[in-house]
Amino acid sequence: SQTIHQWPATLVQPVGSPLSLECTVEGTSNPNLYWYRQAAGRGLQLLFYSVGIGQISSEVPQNLSASRPQDRQFILSSKKLLLSDSGFYLCAWSDLRGNSGNTIYFGEGSWLTVV
């Protein structure tokens, strides 16, 4: 079966510091990968998605970036965090070819507090 993991689960970072969140998927190949952010009282906002290695699409202009160095690895980064970057970050995957159809599955999430 497929699994998705992301880390770290929680982090507190000062303004201006860098960020790196990592996500890996197991049990499938060439998945579509996504980074979402969920702010309090708001719906999930898609930040980036990737359909293959090195292929990144950005949905929202921001000081974040994403990379996909391997097929099942997705990384969210920032060079300098802003207070407004605080939130719950979720990695997700979907596989159009399998039984999951276009269902999307989420990692455990990473709580980021910028202070």
Closest distance of CB 115 from other proteins, Å: 18
**Segment interacting with other proteins (CB under 8 A) among 20-28, 43-51, 64-72, 79-87:** 43-51
Nearest to 82 by CA among 9, 18, 39: 18
Collapsed DSSP state (helix, strand, coil) of residue 84:
helix
Give the CA distances from residue 98 to residues 2, 95, 107, in Å, rounded to whole numbers and listed in that order: 11, 6, 19
Nearer to other proteins, 10 or 79 (CB): 10
In the range 47-86, which residues lie near other proteins by CB under 8 A? Answer: 49, 51, 57, 59
Closest distance of CB 43 from other proteins, Å: 4
* Single residue of 62, 67, 71, 88 touching other proteins by CB under 8 A: 88
Collapsed DSSP state (helix, strand, coil) of residue 108:
coil
**Segment interacting with other proteins (CB under 8 A) among 18-26, 66-74, 75-83, 104-112:** 104-112
Pairing of the two strands 19-26 and 73-78: antiparallel
Give the CA distances from residue 102 to residues 4, 18, 28, in Å, rounded to whole numbers and listed in that order: 16, 33, 14
Judged by the rule CB under 8 A, the positions of this chain that interact with other proteins are 32, 34, 41-44, 46, 49, 51, 57, 59, 88, 90, 92, 94, 96, 101-109, 111
